[in-house]
Amino acid sequence: MGTKHRKNLSHRHKVALFLGDLWILVVLLTHTPPAEGRPQAAQNNGTSSSVPRFGAHEYAYVSSWPILDRTLGSVTAVAIDGAGNVVIFHRGSHVWSLETFDQKDVYQDAAGGPIANHTVLKFTHDTGSLLQEWGANLFYMPHGLTIDHEQNYWLTDVALHQVFKFDLNHSTTEPVLTLGTRFEPGNDMYHYCKPTAVAVLKSGEFFVADGYCNGRIVKYSPEGVPILAWGRNSFVLTRTFDLGPGPVPVNFFAVPHALTVVPDRDLLCVADREQGRVQCFHTGNATFHSQYSSPEMGSRLFSVKYISSDGGLLYTINGPELNLVFNSVVPVGGFILEMDSGKVVGRFQPNNPRHAFSNPHELAVLDDGSEVYVAELNPQMVHKFRLVSAPRPSATTPRPTVARNEGENTSKDHYYAGGQPGMSSALTAGSIGIFSIVSTLIVTSLLVILMARVICVRSGQGASRTDEMPLRNMAVDEG
Ligand SMILES: *[C@@H]1O[C@H](CO)[C@@H](O)[C@H](O)[C@H]1NC(C)=O
Ligand SMILES: *[C@@H]1O[C@H](CO)[C@@H](O)[C@H](O)[C@H]1NC(C)=O
Ligand SMILES: *[C@@H]1O[C@H](CO)[C@@H](O)[C@H](O)[C@H]1NC(C)=O
Ligand SMILES: *[C@@H]1O[C@H](CO)[C@@H](O)[C@H](O)[C@H]1NC(C)=O
Ligand SMILES: *[C@@H]1O[C@H](CO)[C@@H](O)[C@H](O)[C@H]1NC(C)=O
């Protein structure tokens, strides 16, 4: 066992390191300055070049938020409490890597203990000052954070396979409700497998997205008694059955990754991550209601949040494309969709290399849409955006040209860099053309090498599945 295990490990390690490099490359590629002209053309449909892009939903980047005298771990979640403070959940020194889980989704470093740093930090939304921190020595691999209307905190931990409800008036160390079985993955009433997120209705009933391996949503009574469960895991790398050709049907999830409640329509919307779509369901009976996707958003969608402004808007963030050889042009960014029409009516994205999106994981929006926060896994940080134009229905509203001093040096940070959009997009498009050819060649050759290695590992040791792990984990990773 000992030597074979070591051998496997070192093989996995090599592939892991290699994949790590590949991933960095992937990030770099998908991370090239977004082709400014593309989304614009797609959105305006060539109707009129003088029509401002998303004039009604324009956000400025606010740098230097929050104020913190130390570094964060991977920030996996951000939420806004009832007082308008911004709360984040981060992983401290823990990192979700290829070695974090075994093939059966069991966490491998329980002996290493929980994260010693405080994992939950609360900041004022305006100044970004730290107000409160807690959550040390409780969590192993933080994922989701939701604050309900009673100010209960709901947190999920993918290593523990558990969901916790904290009433901070009661305790910041003892949850008032714990669901799932500590460190035991499973798929029944007492077990989750890497649960991702929670959403709570005004009635106190709540939903758990479960998660990376089960692809189901479970609805509970306020006391935590299961009422309903639905959804099947269609994630191509972990499902155990064949799906027919064509679009994946509704009610299938490839990592239900984030949740949002649409109270005025009695809907629960789910970010169906690896299928690049949002699926919405009636909260009462779990019946499918509608879904949202867009070529602009690409094939990976990490989160969705609803606000009631402008007749109902869904804010989403996508992630770096995995199939970049064929599709490297979808920039990583935030999108605003009109719920009624399904149209993308806005975008937010720090258009600045110092702050650009890389692996955004979760977002939070103030109720009136005036501010948006995005949690990043890596670089480990939180992005803040401020609305610079009041939401207006008219598409012909002139683009605001106010000096938007939301912090130091902010003019650089706007997604809509002022000045000559045509010129800069021509430049960007040109360099992207050459760059993507070169990078496609590099990536293709790397993939060939990778395939060769995987095949070698496979034939070399005859063990059927160890070689699949890194690939599988890589895709399931980052979350
Ligand atoms: C955009 O253009 C396509 C084809 O050019 C057309 O089918 C579609 O209706 C247009 N959409 C809008 C919103 O104008
Ligand atoms: C964890 O806590 C230590 C001690 O307070 C601090 O030095 C370090 O920066 C913290 N690390 C993170 C990731 O919060
Ligand atoms: C905690 O106390 C505050 C202030 O009394 C209250 O607004 C809040 O709802 C309480 N939280 C919970 C979870 O009951
Ligand atoms: C589920 O609930 C919605 C809203 O109440 C209703 O319109 C729909 O018909 C219900 N579907 C089923 C199958 O009961
Ligand atoms: C603002 O930009 C100037 C010049 O680009 C730079 O010298 C300065 O350090 C920046 N200020 C901050 C706070 O980043």
Binding-site sequence positions for Zn(2+): 143, 257, 361
| pLDDT at residue number 29 | 40
Q: What per-residue confidence (pLDDT) applies to 402? A: 29
Q: How far is the centre of ligand 3, averaged over its atoms, from the C-alpha of 151 (Å)?
A: 6
Give the pLDDT of residue 337. 97
pLDDT in tens, 427-468: 333 344 445 555 566 666 777 666 665 554 444 333 333 222
Please report the pLDDT score of residue 110 as a whole number: 97
What confidence score (pLDDT) does residue 478 get? 55
State the binding site. 78, 91, 143, 145, 212, 257, 273, 361
Is 117 a pocket residue for ligand 2 (Cβ < 6 Å)?
yes
Please give the pLDDT value at position 399.
Answer: 37
**409 C-beta closer than 6 A to ligand 5:** yes
Q: Which of 61, 65, 408 to mutate to test the pocket of ligand 5 (most atoms within 8 A of CB)?
A: 408
Q: Note the CATH number of domain 73-299.
A: 2.120.10.30
The strand pair at 232-233 and 252-253 is best described as: parallel
Instruction: Please identify every stretch of the chain with a pLDDT value under 50, giving residue numbers as ranges.
Output: 1-53, 393-434, 456-477
Cβ atoms of 334 and 360 closer than 8 Å: yes
So what's the pLDDT on residue 470? 31
The three-state (H, E, C) secondary structure of the chain, written as one string? CHHHHHHHHHHHHHHHHHHHHHHHHHHHHHCCCCCCHHHHHHHHCCCCCCCCCCHHHEEEEECCCCCCCCCCCCEEEEEECCCCCEEEEECCCCCCCCCCECCCCCECCHHHCCCCCCCEEEECCCCCCEEEEECCCCCCCEEEEEECCCCEEEEEECCCCEEEEEECCCCCCCCCEEECCCCCCCCECCECCCEEEEEECCCCCEEEEECCCCCEEEEECCCCCEEEEECEECCCCCCCCCCCCCCCCCCEECCEEEEEEEHHHCEEEEEEHHHCEEEEEECCCCCEEEEECCCCCCCCEEEEEEECHHHCEEEEEECCCCCCCCCCCCCCCEEEEECCCCCEEEEECCCCCCCCCCCEEEEEECCCCCEEEEEECCCCEEEEEEECCCCCCCCCCCCCCCCCCCCCCHHHHCCCCCCCHHHHHHHHHHHHHHHHHHHHHHHHHHHHHHHHHHHHHHHHHCCCCCCHHHHHHHHHCCC
| Ligand 1 centroid – CA 44 distance (Å) | 9
pLDDT at 150: 98
Supply the residue whose CA is at minimum distance from atom 6 of ligand 2. Answer: 70
pLDDT in the model for residue 64:
87
Return the residue whose CA atom lies nearest to atom 14 of ligand 4.
285
357 in Cβ contact with 351 (< 8 Å): no
Find out whether 192 and 229 touch, Cβ atoms under 8 Å.
no
Quote the pTM value: 0.72
Atom of ligand 3 nearest to the CA of 167: 13
Instruction: Find the 286 Cα to ligand 4 centroid distance in Å.
Output: 8
Please name the residue that has the structure tokens 């021509």.
426
pLDDT digits (tens, 9 = 90+) for 408-423: 332 222 222 222 333 3
Q: What's the gap in Å between 240 CA and the centre of ligand 5?
A: 53
Q: Report the separation in Å between the CA atom of 280 and the middle of ligand 4, taken as the mean of its atom positions.
A: 13
For residue 466, give the nearest of 149, 103, 145 by alpha carbon: 103
Could you tell me which residues come within 8 angstroms of residue 58 by beta carbon, excluding any fewer than 6 positions away? 346, 387, 388, 389, 399, 400, 415, 416
- Kindly state if the Cβ of 327 falls inside 6 Å of ligand 5: no
The CB of 405 under 6 Å from ligand 5? The reply is no
